Amino acid sequence: MESHWSDPMIEIDQTHAIDLKSWFEPANRATTDFPIQNLPFGMYRMVGSNDSFRACTAIGDHVLDLAAVDAEYKDNLNKLAGAGRTTWRQLRVALSQALSAVEMRSRIERFLVPMAKVELGLPVLSRDFTDFFTSYFHAYNAGKLFRPDDPLTPNFKWMPIAYHGRASSIIVSGTEVRRPWGQIITPDSANPIFAPSRFLDFETELGFVVGPSTELGLSVNIDQAEDHLFGVVLLNDWSARDIQAWEYQPLGPFLAKSFASTISPWIVTLEALAPFRAPAFKRFEGDPAPLAYLTSSKNNRSGHFSINLAAHLKPRGGSLQCLSKANYDTSYWNPAQLVAHQTSNGCPLNAGDLLGTGTISGPAASEAGALLELGKMGQTPVTLENGSTRIALEDGDQLILKGECMREGYRSIGFGEAAGIVTPAQQL
């Protein structure tokens, strides 16, 4: 298949061909997130087993143990993430050939396991978690609630703002999320109380998984930044807004966000996302141009990704409904810019580290990626299909993030889901 791009960072090859089929029929179904054109990486073990997790790829409704094509990375995706782009491409091609060539079926089929029979673990172990603030629309909408006359902080359009999160509370989809305790200022008191959060919220995000490490003291040029990105997961950075409101000044979020950050179990690689490139965000008239280390002609041309995201809520005893939808390409800052900025002062990155996008919101009201925005901080509660309303998540609510990439001429691919159910606060 002839590449539609001349830029080597966005290679499109035979593994992306829309007419590529697998001998494993579930991978060819139109509804699957995991056709042969996707081939994301994860970790699995059999349900009820105490065995160590093993590396795999998703194909249709099954997982394929990586031992089928490469025993070197069968036990550790951090090692694979650190191996670099040449290795990733070689493994992708090997998997694509193994699952498409009929003559390979007899050798490969025994490594397939139904997803219904496996437990999926964290795909990588992250030493560090940086959560950025990349969506102009989220920054503006949230800022408008607190600072109506001056919603954006002066630095937002100059650099990707971020805080350093807590990697120890990154959890895999399906893990329960316990309502956190914290200090809260109530409207009728000048002094804080210590109580369970009353304004628990979700955040629709993506997390970029770091590939090869960078060195202490060395920065990464924006045009080499993606060489240090392995792939993408869905990310819900659960937030206790009432705890956050009291603690965030002057150093930013802390306990309001460190109790849980849910990620999807599948890392969708940048290679799989090649057909879904998008230009860098087109700045508004009058906006400053990015400083030199945050821009290049290559990044301007194709530094972003078109990824459709949706947040769904399932209340206790109710049905699943969509709360909001947005596309990642509406975010002001893109992945290479995050890496370039994070390393600009010589800060090292390690394989498996997570770089969150921050809440992804689009320009329409229906594209808000958090209840804080959807409900305008309680001014306009969200009405659910069962008639109940929400300004914050309640115990028993299940929040599910989903993602999908679509483009004419290419096979759509998905991300699985990042799901978590809210459970009551610990009894103290």
Clarify whether 138 is annotated catalytic: yes
CA distance 165 to 360: 17
Question: Do 309 and 403 form a contact (C-beta atoms < 8 A)?
Answer: yes
- What string of H, E and C letters represents the secondary structure of 112-143? EEEHHHEEEECCCCCCCEEEEECCHHHHHHHH
Return the closest-CA partner of residue 57 out of 111, 2, 4.
Answer: 111
Reduced to 3 DSSP states, what percent helix, strand and coil does the chain have, rounded to the nearest 5? 25, 25, 50
Amino acid occupying residue 144: K
Pick the catalytic residue from 16, 62, 138, 304: 138
Return the closest-CA partner of residue 20 out of 41, 40, 39.
Answer: 39
Beta bridge partners of 356: 131, 207
Question: Do 330 and 297 form a contact (C-beta atoms < 8 A)?
Answer: no
Question: Do 50 and 35 form a contact (C-beta atoms < 8 A)?
Answer: no
Name residue, tokens 């300004």: 391
Residues acting as catalytic residues: 138
